[in-house]
Amino acid sequence: MDGKYFFVSTHHVISTIKSGSKYFRVNLGMAITLDDPQSDDRLDNDKDRFAFAYRKYRGTTCLSSGEIGNIHFYTDHSIGHNEVIVYRNFEEFSMKFDPLFIKEKGVDSWLGKVMMEIDTKLEQMGLSQIEEGVDIPNPVKNRGDGSKVFNNPGQVRYEDLKEYLASKRQKI
């Protein structure tokens, strides 16, 4: 997932992007669940790693809609009207869809603007810890136990949850 952008928004926003960009390629993705050969149950389909992780993390389903190069678009019907959630390097950014900017300069220009904003924020996040002289915690000393999330949920600390989420991100 490194180097890719994942845009998640409502059907209206994704349709506007699709109709406004000549580079948009439709990609309807994969089924959300699969038949379990041992029983009559359904299993989660983890072939689309982003959609699988999104559903586990957010608790809602996102459906693949298409792509432009390394930008992948997903539809989530539970997101607010003009909200766009962008994922880059396992970081989540919430943006507002700007129809006026798109009307003036086009969809591709808006996508470029959003990607530049996200890359700038990521650089600032990485540089701000070094510039401010914030003590970066020792990863071995403050490492949590990710197994506590399921084994002993009443005793889960923030570090345990961070470790669990980090292990999930590595699997994606």
Range of the domain at 42: 5-105
**Strand 5-9 and strand 71-75: pairing?**
parallel
75 belongs to a structural domain: yes
11 belongs to a structural domain: yes
Instruction: State how many domains the chain has.
Output: 1
pLDDT at site 155: 65
Give me the average pLDDT of each 10-residue run along the chain (172 residues). Answer: 84 94 88 79 82 88 92 92 90 92 93 92 69 45 67 68 76 67
pLDDT at site 56: 87
pLDDT at site 136: 45
pLDDT at site 138: 44
171 belongs to a structural domain: no
43 belongs to a structural domain: yes
pTM summary value? 0.69
79 belongs to a structural domain: yes
